[in-house]
Structure 1
């Protein structure tokens, strides 16, 4: 059993962790991204003397929305600049595409500039705004996901501009005007006119671990809640006489105090609730010493405390219901299933369906949502703090409910822990020495009985 367990744990860890995070681009679906069209258009003089209004920004926006949304990987949403700012502030979108006011004007000015006419030849720009605060990999997914689409936009626009330049050249030649040759550089710019400016919506502060600070904080919270619960269980069970207490060379068996499983659960959980408050306080002191920014420190304390209380309730619940198997069950539930489904490394929208569903029942996901909101999004309730809080309370309530139902049933089926069912002899040792054939054997029996 022990070696098989080691093999199983290693296999399961890689299967779940890399299975959830190994290929995020293959599982992307409806990642929300904003698109803002600020283009004011341009008026273009035709060779025949008439003029035409061009709204290239509108064309680009409509093309991108159709092509990107048809792929199913992103949910590209048209917004005003103010709405896009609010969406980035609350973490509702992972990035934004911004078409500036002079997009059409700069695009059309390339035509006369390339054939020796008016125009400064400045290329039109499209901004690709990322949000590193939303997640460590979201910026990369947005950048890599939209680069081909924006390259296609530039190529299509280049065909229009090249055709327009050819028409201008032909019109001038017919009018007997001398037209300079279009240089190779000008031809290349006309074919690929759009310059993509990729930048972050807001720069990350120092001490935030390049945006991973909320996730690292959540991992520490998870470790404190899980390992603390295991340690409390071991020590409390030892003091209650359920198991021996071994500290280095010391080995001691306390007198058995046969509490019910439910009472033992609430005793251990009460210890965790009280001690976790102090643990969070020292975590914040350590964060201050290493210059980690902690805006909204009071809310950071509360969401961290709530998280440890929830994780300890889940861990102690599994230990109460599963006994020794609860150790493995806790590791599988909280670590092997929790890490890949947290949404911190890979956005939930880029996880396989199974792991995206798991995020709804994993405390690490809700802890990260709340901590990320407090640290990066001004503690706006709709940016994750509200969802994280209610998710943690729901998991905590379910854990307590399961223990309240199953623990008394286990007591009725097998008796209280530390006592063998049907007898009060905890060690199951014969109360009288066995029959012996000689003094030496009898002495050994006496020592065994003692």
Structure 2
């Protein structure tokens, strides 16, 4: 091709259409993922885990044996839609264990003297004396997610309103049958209409410096961004240094003689830089978090896992670009960011997202990292709280990245497929 031809060459139509099409596809994917999971979380509820604890031992009401706690438990099972709520009837110790590990988003607790208090309340409606309302405790779990705790409160409020109405009607009928034509006072009628005191309290409240529970999500996000962006920067800078692409600085560019190096060795250099950079970046994040008074109870564990997560993302991202070239940029963007944030469960619980988004959490890297970071920040690093899953899935992702990169680059080298389709030589002046 002559210099004059090179100067007058124009882009054919297909080269215009390719980037425009990619932008349109990316816009459609972003809109579907991000608007689809934020539009109406409560509409998409499925398998939302709630513990139900019934400690009521029963008593005598209106001269007959009664177990109102059991009746309420049965009513909750009947009236709460099973396709939306996973209502787990467990003992108090098991409920506390599941709350501690973030396995449930809340618990409804009926105390052991519930029926007895209801009976006393009915008697006190016609006999003077001091009484205490029957109490049902609703425990939210803000450490498992702020929005999840709000959804738990909404569900409990709706369920307990219905329970209060049902128990109030039954109690009013029993009292009126017992006193005959004697009229009830207005205060007694009001008390019988809403007999249950529903107390909503957070279980193990979040400390200060957690951003109302969002600190785990944003810490996960910065780990992912530095790993993802770091991979792109390392890829470009190393390629420029080795002469595979020009180094550009504003309007200036510099061409370097192409180094006689294989694809596999080039990728090893990039991996090494990513491995060295990961603990440095993790230390920077940890230091900034501590300077900003972020609540970090296990800094060493957070530092070590952060370094692993950054390295795993960067190394896998570099491997994808080594295997797929320019297309690897789009693949990394979709896998790590576009699909990752909606399925992370960091802002909206998976049980409040469309099922097809929740299903992606089983393999999406960001969800695994979020589980581990949340466990470290809010659940004392317990393995059962997501630390085990996050750790092993991160290691599995790193292994996949290493395997993909090694296999692809060695296969290309063995076939003699030099980069840019040219032998190692200095670029023409």
TM-score computed with the length of structure 1 as normaliser: 0.86
Q: Give me the whole-angstrom Cα distance separating, in 2, the residues matched to 1:413 and 1:426.
A: 23
Structure 1 unpaired stretches of 5+: 174-178, 430-449
- Aligned residue among 245, 251, 256 for 1:243: 245
Q: Give me the whole-angstrom Cα distance separating, in 1, the residues matched to 2:265 and 2:128.
A: 86
Using the TM superposition, give the Cα deviation of residue 152 of structure 1 relative to its aligned residue in structure 2, in angstroms.
1.6
Equivalent residue for 1:59? 71
Q: What is the 5 A alignment of 1:260-279? A: 260-279=262-281
Equivalent residue for 1:296? 298
Render the CA deviation track for 1:200-231: whole Å, top value 9, x for unaligned: 11221111000011111000000110111111
1:146 and 2:148 matched: no
Greater CA drift, 149-158 or 253-262: 253-262
Equivalent residue for 1:74? 85
Q: What is the 5 A alignment of 1:112-131? A: 112-115=123-126, 117-131=127-141
Q: Is the CA contact 2:42–2:352 (under 8 Å) kept in the aligned structure 1?
A: yes
Q: Is the CA contact 1:110–1:119 (under 8 Å) kept in the aligned structure 2?
A: no
Q: Is the CA contact 1:92–1:383 (under 8 Å) kept in the aligned structure 2?
A: yes
Q: Give me the whole-angstrom Cα distance separating, in 2, the residues matched to 1:251 and 1:409.
A: 32
Using the TM superposition, give the Cα deviation of residue 77 of structure 1 relative to its aligned residue in structure 2, in angstroms.
1.5
- Aligned residue among 310, 316, 331 for 2:312: 310
Equivalent residue for 1:226? 228
Equivalent residue for 1:367? 369
Instruction: Classify the secondary structure of the residue corresponding to 2:296.
Output: coil
1:5 and 2:22 matched: yes
Q: Is the CA contact 1:112–1:119 (under 8 Å) kept in the aligned structure 2?
A: no
Render the CA deviation track for 1:245-285: whole Å, top value 9, x for unaligned: 11235421111014332322221121111111011111111
Q: Structure 1 residues 414 and 192 mapped into 2: Cα distance closer, same or farther (>3 Å)?
A: farther
Q: Is the CA contact 1:256–1:418 (under 8 Å) kept in the aligned structure 2?
A: no
Using the TM superposition, give the Cα deviation of residue 82 of structure 1 relative to its aligned residue in structure 2, in angstroms.
1.8
Render the CA deviation track for 1:176-203: whole Å, top value 9, x for unaligned: xxx4x31334223322322221121122
Q: Give me the whole-angstrom Cα distance separating, in 2, the residues matched to 1:342 and 1:106.
A: 44
Using the TM superposition, give the Cα deviation of residue 118 of structure 1 relative to its aligned residue in structure 2, in angstroms.
4.1
Q: Is the CA contact 1:20–1:351 (under 8 Å) kept in the aligned structure 2?
A: yes
- Aligned residue among 11, 18, 27 for 2:44: 27
Equivalent residue for 1:216? 218
Q: Give me the whole-angstrom Cα distance separating, in 1, the residues matched to 2:264 and 2:77.
A: 56
Equivalent residue for 2:58? 41
Q: Is the CA contact 2:256–2:426 (under 8 Å) kept in the aligned structure 1?
A: no
Equivalent residue for 1:446? none
Equivalent residue for 2:119? 108
Equivalent residue for 1:197? 199
Equivalent residue for 2:6? none
Equivalent residue for 1:135? 145
Q: Is the CA contact 1:258–1:416 (under 8 Å) kept in the aligned structure 2?
A: no
- Aligned residue among 415, 423, 430 for 2:417: 415
Q: What is the 5 A alignment of 1:138-177? A: 138-170=148-180
Render the CA deviation track for 1:256-315: whole Å, top value 9, x for unaligned: 014332322221121111111011111111111001111122211121111111111221
Equivalent residue for 2:388? 386
Using the TM superposition, give the Cα deviation of residue 411 of structure 1 relative to its aligned residue in structure 2, in angstroms.
4.3
1:93 and 2:112 matched: no
Using the TM superposition, give the Cα deviation of residue 58 of structure 1 relative to its aligned residue in structure 2, in angstroms.
2.0
Greater CA drift, 191-200 or 383-392: 191-200
Structure 2 unpaired stretches of 5+: 1-17
Instruction: Classify the secondary structure of the residue corresponding to 1:71.
Output: coil
Q: Give me the whole-angstrom Cα distance separating, in 2, the residues matched to 1:407 and 1:354.
A: 34
TM-score computed with the length of structure 2 as normaliser: 0.90
Q: Give me the whole-angstrom Cα distance separating, in 1, the residues matched to 2:59 and 2:128.
A: 15
